[in-house]
Chains A and B, each alone.
Chain A
Amino acid sequence: MNQLFIDPFSEAIKHQDLIDVSFSKFRDHNDPKLFDNRIFVINTGITDRKKIAKTINFLSSRSTKVIGVDLLFDTLYTTPDDTLLSIAIANSSRVILGFSFEEAKMPYHSTMEMHSHPFFANNVKEAYFNLATNDGFSVRTFEPFHMVENTEMPSFSTKIAMEYEPEVLARLKSRGVDKEWINFRRVQPGISNMIFPINSGQNSHYALVNIDQFLADTSAYEEEYFKDKIVLIGFCGEHDGSLSMKDRYYTPLNERSSGRSVPDMFGVIIHANIISMLLDSDFIDDVPEFLLYLFAFLIFFVNYFIFLRVIERKFFFTVAFIRLIQILQFIFLYSVCILLLCVLNIKLGFILIITAVILSFELFEFYQHRFKHRVNKILSTY
């Protein structure tokens, strides 16, 4: 059903969502508990395959539980570096590579689009990198599983979380949800990102190290440091000081939730946020649609009696007083929606509710002047 007059406005502001305001403005990003010690991120910057091979070899030797490589090796240069990388991947059973798919509408199946060359990906665990968006650049949801060429494939972050903690699969399946809202809690780390509107609070919720620095300091890490950890290898800027726009997207953590802004999070950190969410079972639940309609009806019902009382008492500036009540209701319901999302992880559809508030007085007047006497006539016959 269309929410006639409000929906166009929601279309106009579809680059925004209640999630954007709630997560960026009302969540505390300074909580030290948010630092996720389970995930370690290595920024490849502009590197070569030899360094990636060295990194994988080192991590494999340190009993890292999962090595997620957020890079695509679809080009084979037939150089010694290619062989080194291929051997490093083949020798480590912990590596997860990725591919992308092209989404098809039912009844057609999505097809694999870009994938690493079989020289690297042969007999290696693979999952898809795709994330879901409604405008092409803002990431708010992801699909944990998707049918790709007739096979159910996990997403990159789902696969990593499942490898780390196999119970994740059962938890996801029991929810029976196709698409999950990403419960973004952790901001983009890195010195160059500690500015408005990316991370003005200057927080680091994931350990992020440049690949060159990582390889230079391998001896500095304790023997057990990487044991049972998830290490993500991906791109987070050409170097520590660069504010790169490659593989970077808008998320609800962007501190400027309306108007023009810069993308605030690299793909690899989005994957990290999803992994944290899956491991913590920190899902966002939608309120079912029938409850929303019921709630909207209740608003009409309650407002009918409020407006009736206001008109009966013949307050001065009656209409203005009713409008004030509506504004207060708007503020109250908006606050409730934000609180539910921030505190209880419940996403209450705001548009339908606010439509009910806005139209309640007009419908009240319509009922009183045009409809009530007919209803009374019908009721008096019984």
Chain B
Amino acid sequence: MALRVFFILIVFLTVFCGFLRAQSVAAVFIQGNVKVFKQGENVNMAKALVHGPLLPDQKLIVAQNSKVKLLKSNGEVCEISNAGTYTINSLKFIAVPESSIFSKLGDYFLSFFTSHTSSETKENYSNTVLAFSRGEDAVPILNFPMTGMISADLTGIDFKWTHPCDSCNFILQIYDFESKALVFQSYVNSVNYTLKNPLKYLFPGKKYFWNIQLDKSVVKSTSSSFTVSKKGDFNLKVTEVENNLNKEKLKLQSLPHTLMVMSALRDKEMINYAFQFASISKSKYPKDKLLADYLDKIYYTELSNRLQQ
């Protein structure tokens, strides 16, 4: 009997201590494509990770350019930014610097002895109050990329918009269409921005939406979506069109050649490809002013037509 009681006590203590030792883990920050599934489950069953508690036996699939931050109940933190599959209980959590009330008090009193200017002097007054009014801000209008397929194979993707303000700054934001997660953000002081090395942020075959917000304002443009085409698709489509033109055995100069390729791409409902090709042609023939003017005219006519629609 005594042996049985002793055995029960041992089991109880083991379970109780184990329970005490277990630290609950929660996802507190998710950026990009992060999925979760239980150990032993099929990977295809993985669901999008949401903020909140996680079980120790769960696994995370972190996609490229994605980030996740996990927090233990004792304050330890684990940040994953490299793509891969991770099991929760095998992750390394790092203790954050002491932030108890006592350490904060210590830091505060130590700060007494650091050098700082008196609040009574004018030295620490800076000219940051802008005492003027400027009326309501106009909404930016998105120009390019237009809705549809766009190639990320080129050195960069141009983002263009229109806004009548002469001294405004803007925030360009690109979101994943499905998860609505922010994948790219940049502060811009003009009405265009070239996203260099786009494949660092965007995945071929995925749909995204973008918008422009006025800096220091709540005014935001409407959103426009685009899909990043698969690698090589742009070249394939352009070569296809050019081959068809070659079959006609026409000796075309730069302007008619560009126009015919653009026209064929437009007919295939690849408007972004058409303007990307126009941009390549302009950089290929930098001295051809006629070509540049004509292509600009086509671009503005397209924008004007879209605005009227």
A residues in contact (CB < 8 Å) with B: 2-5, 7-8, 10-11, 13-14, 17-18, 44, 46, 70-78, 98, 100-101, 103, 110, 113-118, 128-134, 136-137, 139-141, 143, 146, 156, 178-179, 181, 234-235, 246-247, 249, 267-268, 270-271, 286, 349-352
Contact = CB atoms under 8 A, between A and B. Distances in A.
A133 B126 contact: yes
Given A70-B132, A71-B132, A247-B132, A141 B125 contact: yes
Nearest to A113: B167
A75 B132 contact: no
A78 to B, nearest CB: 7
B134 A140 contact: no
Given A139-B129, A143-B127, A349-B120, 19 more contacts: A2-B112, A7-B116, A7-B118, A17-B119, A46-B135, A71-B133, A74-B168, A75-B134, A75-B137, A114-B130, A130-B130, A132-B129, A134-B124, A156-B131, A179-B125, A181-B122, A247-B131, A249-B131, A267-B131
A7 B132 contact: no
Contacts of A44: 133
Given A5-B112, A115-B167, A117-B166, A11 B130 contact: no
B130 A103 contact: no
Contacts of B74: none
Contacts of A179: 122, 125
B139 to A, nearest CB: 11
B118 A4 contact: no
Given A4-B112, A78-B164, A113-B167, A71 B134 contact: yes
Interface in B170-190: none
A137 B130 CA distance: 10
B125 A132 contact: yes
A3 B126 CA distance: 22
B125 A70 contact: no
Contact of A8 (B112, B127, B135, B168): B112
A76 B118 contact: no
A118 B131 contact: no
Q: Which of A3, A114, A156, A247 has most chain B Cβ within 10 Å? A: A114
A73 B137 CA distance: 11
B119 A101 contact: no
A131 B118 contact: no
B128 interface: yes
A5 B108 CA distance: 12
* 3 shortest interchain CB distances as A-B pairs: A267-B131, A235-B133, A14-B119
A249 B113 CA distance: 32
B132 A100 contact: yes
A45 to B, nearest CB: 10
Contacts of A2: 112-113, 115-116
Contact of A234 (B130, B133, B136): B133
Contacts of A78: 164
A110 B135 CA distance: 25
Nearest to A48: B135
A132 B127 contact: yes
A118 B166 contact: yes
